[in-house]
A = this chain, B = another copy of it.
Amino acid sequence: MKLSTRAQYGTRALLYLAVRQEKGPATLKDIARSQQIPLSYLEHLMTPLIAGGVVRSVRGPRGGVALARSSDKIKLDEVVQLLEGSSAPVECVDNPNVCDRSRSCVTRDVWSDLKRAVDTVLESTTLQDLVERQKRKQPSEQEMYYI
């Protein structure tokens, strides 16, 4: 039940954008530096987020990327879905046809329960929630995230 770095990096990057939302687009370079993500890897994470309508981008000087919607309208399940695909721990949960036994399989039911549990957490958390938790956690140290 591991999460790849895609979701970790991606979420951190989006949180960065959420915190500085009003300041306009941030360059990938800034995000990469501040969140310690390899720049050329970060580029690849942005592609699905842009395609998925979570992030919008502006090319050219003074360009960069920004959230496409306000942070309270972006739930983590969408982010994780775009970066990692379905939260189903095994394929048959989403697609029963991959296995003959799906219909009668009780272990599959457990994996479905797991998916549900994961989704419940991710659906109930927005980027704005993270921003607020961060403020509450360390109002002073926040600058760390701007560098």
Q: Residues on A close to B: CB < 8 A?
A: 1-3, 8, 11-12, 15, 76, 80, 84, 87-90, 101, 104, 106-107, 109-111, 113-114, 117-118, 120-122, 125, 130, 133-134, 137-138, 141, 144
Copies held by the complex: 2
How distant is A95 from chain B, measured CB to nearest CB, in Å? 14
CB–CB B3/A111 < 8 A: yes
How distant is A126 from chain B, measured CB to nearest CB, in Å? 11
Q: A1-B3, A104-B141, A120-B117 known; A110 and B89 CB under 8 Å?
A: no
Q: List 28 A-B contacts (CB under 8 A).
A: A1-B1, A1-B2, A1-B3, A1-B80, A1-B84, A1-B88, A1-B89, A1-B118, A2-B89, A2-B90, A3-B89, A3-B111, A11-B110, A15-B107, A104-B134, A104-B138, A104-B144, A106-B130, A106-B133, A106-B134, A109-B133, A110-B130, A113-B121, A113-B125, A114-B118, A114-B122, A117-B120, A118-B118
Other 13 A-B pairs with CB < 8 A, given A1-B87, A8-B111, A114-B121: A1-B1, A1-B3, A1-B80, A1-B84, A2-B89, A11-B107, A11-B110, A12-B107, A76-B110, A107-B130, A110-B121, A113-B121, A118-B118
